[in-house]
Amino acid sequence: MLKPFYFDRADNIVETVYGKVRGAQYDGMYVFKGIPYAEAERFHAPHAPKKWENIHDCTVYGCVSPLLHFMPPKGDHLLIPHQYWVQGENCQNLNIWTGSINSDVRKPVLVWIHGGGFSDGSSIEAPFYNGLNFAKHNDCVFVSLNHRLNIFGYLDVSSFGEEYYNSGNNGQMDLVEALKWVRDNIGKFGGDPDNVTIMGQSGGGGKVSTLLSMPAADGLYHKAVIMSGILSLHDAEVLEEPRECVESMMRFLGCNDIKELEKVPFTALAYAYWTLSPELRAQGKCVGCLPYRNGEFVGNPFHVGFRKETIHIPLVIGSVFGEGNSFVNRGIRRDSITEEEGRQIIVEKVGNEVADRLISLFKDAYPNRNPADILFCDATFREPTSRYARQRAADGGKVWTYMYALDSSIDSSRTPWHSIDIPLIFDNADTAPASVNREHTEEIQKIMVESLGQFMRTGDPNLTDGLSWNPVTKDDEWTMIYEEKPRTALNYDRALMPELIKYAKELGNGFGFNPNTDY
């Protein structure tokens, strides 16, 4: 049955601080796409957009940040469906799904920050980033946004002039400007500027963690969610300026100074970086493209601790059972493999004694899984996620952790992979059919959607008719495990994680994940 769509040039108009915007209505919801929230020159800090006189049409998406290279569709797009859009440096725009454009209504606001590391992705890269279903289900306002990435958002050129002081964090400062726009305008879209939840997955989760460590963002959000965003493969910050990389790009492009580098076409700049950076990185040289630790970003909390100014922000944080390990199934038929066959697979990797110890710990954590699933069990995200939660709780933070462990029905039951939880938590599982578990997805999706809605409203993800989900303490971590039959468990995999890390090479854990591009 067709869902109703309504568009009239004289209707669906909202007046923002910067001018009027026109959207459309779809399935009973107001939809605005590509609203400008900031503007900036290359390598410079963002600032508020210029006001406009005419009505700004916001019925189609705005430009997304330029990428460094073109990645043609591959088989993994079955697992994580992708869609591409027009690229441009003028990419500071956001999208809104809301049930009301009445300023007297004050609904909770979710601000979604996309993944793709600090170098790739966009707010519309995946069809399940669409916020309509979630906003409708939870009677809230859903905001997604684009911002500068890679060398356009995270290349520090501060030694070339004071005007570039915070250039290594321009992508993050775009996010701050977006949150300022939400504060100043979201009330016109039925949202409550005093109840804003920031949420990101993978690189988006890393950006949420970074925002918690940025004084400029203080007071612009009130709750946070990090999905598969704490990664142990690198530290998600740089401590030095990549000046040699920038000078190499200048020589490559025939530029005499930084001002000339500002003006070359963005495709040429991207090509120069993509050509030169691998060798420099191999030499141990800094090549940027991660947040730069300075006074604006105080640093990774694993190194400098959690800021007391944001320790009061309630946080939900979690990861996925397989993450990058589950991008391939390694030829294992999980619908028919026996326990002994699974044990022999692990024995072949690590020998009898280690296999027995690993299997015992694994069965304590996941009683219903075959020993072969040890090959897919992630520690790259899970261990630092758990550590992050416990350290934040020890400093006084209120944190809940989760593990998404519901297998997909494809490939004779595929263990869950990186990003598989996003379609469900946004009530969009039908846009990513490979993620679906035929028997259990609808039930788990409902729980996840409503739990996030509850967290947005109250700062507590517990549902009145659900499992008791306790916040983390310094010593005890109660984890919500989303599997065939959801459960909460205390310190359930703490003994397993060190062993998985110890034997990661033999087990092939971390397979399919590139720390330079995936975070």
Determine the pLDDT at residue 232.
60
Give the model's pLDDT for residue 213: 96
pLDDT given at position 514: 47
Domain with 157 in it: what CATH number?
A: 3.40.50.1820
User: Helix, strand or coil for residue 319?
Assistant: strand
In whole angstroms, give the CA distance from residue 147 to residue 94.
Answer: 9
Question: For position 235, what pLDDT does the model report?
Answer: 62
3-state secondary structure of 14: strand
- What per-residue string of b and e applies to 39-61 under the rule 16 or more CB within 10 Å gives b? bbebbbbbeebeeeeeebebeeb
Buried b (16+ CB within 10 A) or exposed e, 116-126: bbbbbbbbbbb
The label of the residue with tokens 């979690």 reads 318
Q: Are residues 189 and 275 in the same domain?
A: no
Cα–Cα distance between 222 and 266 in angstroms, integer? 36
At residue 319, the pLDDT reads: 98
Identify whether 170 is part of a domain: yes
Q: Are residue 223 and residue 262 in the same domain, yes or no?
A: no
Average pLDDT over residues 228-236: 73
Q: Is the pLDDT of residue 518 over 50?
A: no
d(CA 263, CA 190): 40
Same domain, 304 and 259: no
* pTM exceeds cut of 0.85: yes
Q: Which amino acid is at 501?
A: I
Whether residue 10 is contained in a domain is answered as yes
Contact 83, 125 (CB under 8 A): yes
> Looking at 46-60, 406-420, 472-486, 501-515, which range is the least confident one?
501-515
**Domains identified in the chain, total number:** 3
447 lies in some domain: no
**What pLDDT does residue 62 have?**
97
Domain match, 100 and 156 both: yes
Same domain, 231 and 248: no
- Whether 130 is covered by a domain: the verdict is yes
Per cent of the chain over pLDDT 70 is 97
If asked whether residues 268 and 185 sit together in one domain, one would say no
One domain for residues 201 and 278: no
503: nearest Cα among 379, 404, 388: 379
513 domain residue, yes or no: no
Spatial distance between the Cα atoms of 193 and 207, rounded to a whole number of angstroms? 20
Mean pLDDT on 496-505: 95
Full residue range of the structural domain in which residue 121 is found: 5-236+292-313
Q: For residues 2 and 27, give the distance between their C-alpha atoms in angstroms, rounded to a whole number.
A: 9
Residue 451 lies in a domain: no
Q: How far is residue 511's CA from residue 323's CA, in Å, rounded to a whole number?
A: 9
Element at 196 (helix H, strand E): strand 191-201
Over residues 413-431, the mean pLDDT reads: 97
In this structure, is residue 491 part of a structural domain? yes
475 shares a domain with 409: yes
| Residues 307 and 383 reside in one and the same domain | no
Confidence tier at 466 by pLDDT (50, 70, 90): confident
The CA distance from 435 to 494, in Å, is: 27
Within-domain flag for 445: no
166 and 195 in a single domain? The answer is yes
Q: What is the pLDDT of residues 287-323, one digit of tens each?
A: 999 999 998 999 999 999 999 999 999 999 999 999 9
Q: Whole-angstrom Cα distance, residue 267 to residue 8?
A: 37
Average pLDDT across the chain, whole number: 94
pLDDT at 498 over 60: yes
Tell me the pLDDT band of 328, cut-offs 50, 70 and 90: confident
* CB-CB contact of 368 with 445 (8 Å): no
pLDDT tens digits along 65-123: 999 987 777 767 889 988 889 999 999 999 999 999 988 899 999 999 999 999 999 99
Same domain, 380 and 309: no
Same domain, 128 and 271: no
Q: Is 27 exposed, middle or buried (0-12, 13-18, 19+ CB in 10 A)?
A: middle
CA–CA distance, 466 with 447 (Å, rounded to integer)? 8
pLDDT of residue 420: 97
pLDDT category, 516, cuts 50, 70, 90? very low
Percent of the chain with pLDDT over 90: 90
DSSP per-residue string spanning 323-338? GGGGGS-TT--TTT--
